[in-house]
Structure formats: structure tokens, C-alpha cells
Amino acid sequence: MPSNSNHGAPALDPDVAVRLPRLRIERRAIIWWTIRALLLWGSLLAALLVSMVLWEPARVWLTVPAIVLGVIFLARLCVEPWWRYAVHRWEITEQATYASKGWIVREWRVAPSSRIQTVDAVRGPLEQLLGLSTLRVTTASSSGAVNISGLDRKTAEDAAQRLALVAELSEGDAT
């Protein structure tokens, strides 16, 4: 009986190259991630510090959590946005959509065009304020959608239209 080295896995598409994407996201994404850190981690730290000031008996046991939260806040505020900007990349070709992201855990994803089911441009309130958008490419993968955050609004809209055309022209059943 011949040996099957891919153990029942689907055949690989020779046109989809395994490589990192080439395009950077918008530099304004640094501001977006900084504001998010200020709002979430800054408000948590502020609430903890206010508790320490107003609740004198709790100061002793709130000191260590305040220091830990302060370190996390500084990392999220000063390191994370710049690190994410250095790591986040994206690219769309006729064969696939490529994305890399992360800061502590880095993720690299490839979505073959023949597997695309939906394409969305998503804009939260802060993204709208900064003229940014997130491109969401949904496939039949159990890992979920490929999200490309920090794109210029117009770039994301153009990419969504291009992906819709590519997916329409691609042979495949999107499963």
C-alpha cells in the first residue's frame, strides 16, 4: 500500500507561496493602539489608585496590584503600539490574502482566495475618528477570519472590493 505523506490533508495550491506579507499598515494605527491602552488600562489603573487613596486600610494589599498594573499599563502604552506596528503586515494577491500580527503572540495567516466566503470592512468608533478600518476576510477555516487591522479607510474599502472580485473569479467551493 503506498504511503500518503499528507495523511488525508487537501493538496497544497502551488500558486500560494508561504512567505510573509509585504505591505505595512497605516502609521496612525500606533495612535489607535495608544488610545485604546489609555482608555482600558489607564482607567483600570486610575480606579485602583483612587481606591488606594480613598480606602486607607486597603493600601497595604493594593500596592502590589497597583505596581503590577502600572507596569502592564506602561508596556501597553509605550511598547505595544510600536511593536505591533513593526509586526503587522498584509498583502492581497490573486491567489491569497496574507496577514501577520501580534506583539507577544505573533500570528501569520494565509487565506487562499478560493476559500473566501465573505469580506468586510469594519470600523469601530476610534477607527472612524482616525480614518482607519479593519479588513475581515472570512473563510471556511476553523481558525476564524483573517483580520487586517490598522488600514486606511479607503485602502480597506478598495481591498474589500478587490477581494470580492478575486473570490468571485476563483475556482473553488469556499469550503
Tell me the whole-structure pTM to 2 decimals.
0.81
Walk across the sheet containing 146-152 and list its strands.
116-122, 132-139, 146-152
Summarised one tens digit per residue, pLDDT across range 20-69 is 899 999 999 999 999 999 999 999 999 999 999 999 988 899 999 999 99
**Integer Cα distance of 142 and 169 in angstroms:** 24
Type of residue numbered 113 = S
Query: What residue ranges do the domains of the chain occupy?
Result: 32-83, 89-169
Per-residue pLDDT at 9 exceeds 60? no
Contacting residues for 146 by C-beta, under 8 A, at least 6 apart: 97, 99, 109, 111, 136, 137, 138, 139
Residue-wise pLDDT for 86-100, tens only, equals: 999 999 988 889 999
DSSP string of 95-120, one letter each residue: SEEEEEEESSSEEEEEEEGGGEEEEE
CATH fold for domain 89-169? PH-domain like (2.30.29)
CB neighbours of 70 closer than 8 A, spacing ≥ 6? 45
pLDDT digits (tens, 9 = 90+) for 135-175: 999 988 777 889 999 999 999 999 999 888 877 766 655 55
